[in-house]
Amino acid sequence: MDYIERVLEEVKRKNPNEAEFQQAATEILNGLRPVVERHPEYESAALLERFVEPERAIMFRVPWVDDNGKVHVNRGFRVQFNSAIGPYKGGLRFHPSVNLSIIKFLGLEQILKNSLTGLPIGGGKGGSDFDPKNKSEGEIMRFCQSFMTELYRHIGQDTDVPAGDIGVGGREIGYLFGQYKRIVDEHTGVLTGRGLSYGGSLARKEATGYGLVYMVEEALRCRGESLQGKTVVVSGSGNVAIYAVEKAQSLGAKVVAMYDSNGYIYDKKGIDLAVIKQIKEVERGRIKEYVSRVKGTEYHEGCNGIWNIPCDVALPCATQNEIDGESANALIKNGVKIVGEGANMPTTLEGIAAFQKAGVVFLPAKAANAGGVATSALEMAQSSARLFWTFEEVDRKLKSIMVNIYHAMDAAAEEYGVKGNYVSGANIAGFLKVADAMMAHGIV
Ligand code: NDP
């Protein structure tokens, strides 16, 4: 058993009920094998053992009262995983599936993603098993206030700066920020993804989706191609998906399918994004309403079928483990050329292996969706300086960060003998800086 296998055994032994965390640790550590072989000092410093153990994991009670006076109790989490290169940074997820395993997998990924941006941000993640669906405005607000009434004591603009994720958008960030400010009596950049009237950055809302497509376009450009005329399938219809579709369409691609957690729509003429925005952003409705508004389109119950639709580019932008080995093989059979992960860990280990074996260009989440957190860090910079940049300025910085990340992981893969393997390349490029900082800090 080599060093990595021993650490992974230990991860499994210590975290027996954490399947998602084990999956993320397996993907990351296996990708780091060439680095560890070149740096035997890491093993003597138990660097990987420290890397997979959060600096701190906070779990708390979130009681709230619904509109009928009934009391509910949810569970809140904040995992402050690694602050070697900067304050903890990472989103908050509100979804009934949230548990410690999911927050830890997201936090571990976040360390390397944040490092890849080249900006000084450490890794963290949080959230709750609260389900925002079918809740009134008042219920959402009271939940957010109760959540922040505990979380506030653990965060701060130089300590830990949360943002949004699944189920946490501009509305929730507003309520969370309002309660933080009320308790602490400080108007600081403690959360990102804030509204433009109270410290938010232009282009933050668009950043993850736009950034994903900037990276896909760069990968295609390096192969003498572009998105012009390509057929694209995007899963999800939330923040990341909508702005990935917007940017892909503006670069000449035809996006033919999207989904929400109930089912998918297929529009062979190309999706009308204004209709999707109206249903999802304005009405907070279900995607199946699209077919009653746009003629000649189809709706199918269930999500998996979306990966049977022939496409050149697949952009999974909803949630973890959306593409398993079977879906990956369906995409490959239909000629997919490039897969860009907008969501976190949307492809299973079997799916990744299938894409790599088939020579599909596979852009892993921690690189491909880093545009969101990168722009959050730009929001932090603007907050500290107490000034704002234009949309174009932020967008230009975002694009250059995404292009840089692509080349950093491409170069790392080549340098460490795994050319074209961007899973390894992204893990290595992100890890080296964190490892260097951890070594410099001594055994902490
Ligand atoms: P949203 O809540 O805005 O949207 C999530 C979308 O995914 C919705 O369409 C939702 O459908 C769908 N979805 C959620 N869970 C499932 C499921 N189990 N099966 C099928 N569909 C599902 O979230 P975001 O767009 O912000 O986040 C999407 C992904 O991107 C997540 O993995 C997140 O971690 C990642 N990410 C987000 C960033 C950001 O800046 N927002 C940054 C980096 C990564 P429904 O409406 O039916 O629930």
CA atoms of 307 and 297, how far apart (whole Å): 17
Q: What is the DSSP letter of 112?
A: H
Please identify, among 363, 388, 417, the residue that sits at the C-terminal boundary of a domain: 363
In a domain, 442, yes or no: no
Residues across the chain: 444
What is the distance in A from the centroid of ligand 1 to the CA of 316? Answer: 10
Averaged over 248-255, what is the pLDDT?
Answer: 98
* Same domain assignment for residues 77 and 118: yes
Helices 371-385 and 391-415: crossing angle in degrees, nearest 10, is: 130
What is the number of the ligand 1 atom nearest to the C-alpha of 372?
A: 40
What is the number of the ligand 1 atom nearest to the C-alpha of 346?
A: 32
pLDDT of residue 241: 98
Q: Three-state DSSP class for 256?
A: strand
* Same domain assignment for residues 230 and 177: no
Residue 91's domain is classified under what CATH number?
A: 3.40.50.10860
Can you give the three-state secondary structure of 269-313, one letter per residue?
Answer: CCCCHHHHHHHHHHCCCCHHHHHHHCCCCEEEEECHHHHHCCCCE
Give nearest CA residue, ligand 1 atom 36.
Answer: 343
What is the distance in A from the centroid of ligand 1 to the CA of 43? Answer: 37
Averaged over 163-176, what is the pLDDT?
Answer: 97
Q: What is the DSSP letter of 237?
A: -
Can you give the three-state secondary structure of 368-400, one letter per residue?
Answer: HCCHHHHHHHHHHHHHHHCCCCCHHHHHHHHHH
In a domain, 195, yes or no: no
In a domain, 215, yes or no: yes
Within 6 Å (CB) of ligand 1, which residues are found? 164-167, 169, 208, 236-241, 260-262, 303, 317-319, 342-344, 369, 372
* Same domain assignment for residues 35 and 171: yes
Question: Mind listing the pLDDT tens digit for each residue in 177-236?
Answer: 999 999 999 999 999 999 999 999 999 999 999 999 999 999 999 999 999 999 999 999
What is the number of the ligand 1 atom nearest to the C-alpha of 344?
A: 32
CA atoms of 306 and 422, how far apart (whole Å): 25
pLDDT of residue 187: 96
pLDDT of residue 348: 97
Confidence of residue 300 (pLDDT cuts 50, 70, 90): very high
* Same domain assignment for residues 214 and 98: no
Residue 329's domain is classified under what CATH number?
A: 3.40.50.720
CA atoms of 125 and 372, how far apart (whole Å): 14
* Same domain assignment for residues 240 and 162: no
Please identify, among 328, 363, 398, the residue that sits at the C-terminal boundary of a domain: 363
* Same domain assignment for residues 226 and 289: yes
Cα 217 to its chain centre, rounded Å, is: 19
Handedness of CA 422, 81, 374, 284 (dihedral sign): positive
The pLDDT mean for the chain works out to 97
Averaged over 2-18, what is the pLDDT?
Answer: 98
pLDDT of residue 417: 95
In a domain, 398, yes or no: no
What is the distance in A from the centroid of ligand 1 to the CA of 13? Answer: 30
Confidence of residue 94 (pLDDT cuts 50, 70, 90): very high
Phi-psi group of 133: left, alpha or beta (phi > 0 → left; psi -120 to 50 → alpha; rest → beta): beta
Please identify, among 153, 187, 221, the residue that sits at the C-terminal boundary of a domain: 187
Question: Mind listing the pLDDT tens digit for each residue in 354-408?
Answer: 999 999 999 999 999 999 999 999 999 999 999 999 999 999 999 999 999 999 9
CA atoms of 363 and 234, how far apart (whole Å): 14
Query: Sheet containing 122-128: which strands, arranged edge to edge?
Result: 56-65, 71-82, 122-128, 88-94, 160-163
DSSP string, 167-233: TB-HHHHHHHHHHHHHHH----SSSSS--GGGT--TTHHHHHHHHHHHHHHHHHHTTT--STT-EEE
Give nearest CA residue, ligand 1 atom 35.
Answer: 343
In a domain, 427, yes or no: no
Using most ligand atoms within 8 A of CB, pick from 165, 214, 300 the residue to mutate for ligand 1. Answer: 165
* Same domain assignment for residues 150 and 223: no
Per the residue annotation, which of 89, 104, 113, 125 is the catalytic one? 125
Beta bridge partners of 339: 314, 362
Using most ligand atoms within 8 A of CB, pick from 117, 213, 260 the residue to mutate for ligand 1. Answer: 260
Q: What is the pTM of this model?
A: 0.96
Domain that holds residue 221: 205-363
* Same domain assignment for residues 177 and 255: no
Burial of residue 20 (CB within 10 Å: 0-12, 13-18, 19+) is buried
Confidence of residue 409 (pLDDT cuts 50, 70, 90): very high
**What backbone phi and psi angles, to 5 degrees, belong to 317?**
-130, 25
CA atoms of 41 and 198, how far apart (whole Å): 47
* Same domain assignment for residues 166 and 251: no
Strand (E) or helix (H) holding 119: none
User: 216 to each of 36, 165, 230, 310, 402, how far by Cα in Å?
Assistant: 29, 22, 12, 18, 9
Averaged over 311-331, what is the pLDDT?
Answer: 98
Is 125 a known active-site residue? yes
pLDDT of residue 299: 98
pLDDT of residue 8: 98
- Token pair of 401 as six digits: 């960060």
Handedness of CA 33, 34, 36, 37 (dihedral sign): positive
In a domain, 308, yes or no: yes
In the block, residue with structure tokens 């949004």: 164
Asked if residue 233 lies in contact with residue 309, where contact means CB atoms within 8 angstroms, the answer is: yes
What is the distance in A from the centroid of ligand 1 to the CA of 425? Answer: 25
* Same domain assignment for residues 22 and 129: yes
In a domain, 432, yes or no: no
The total number of structural domains in the chain stands at 2
* Same domain assignment for residues 22 and 111: yes
What is the distance in A from the centroid of ligand 1 to the CA of 317? Answer: 6
* Same domain assignment for residues 81 and 43: yes
| Number of Cβ within a 10 Å radius of residue 96 | 13
In a domain, 158, yes or no: yes
Q: Which of 59, 53, 3 is nearest to 25 (CA)?
A: 53
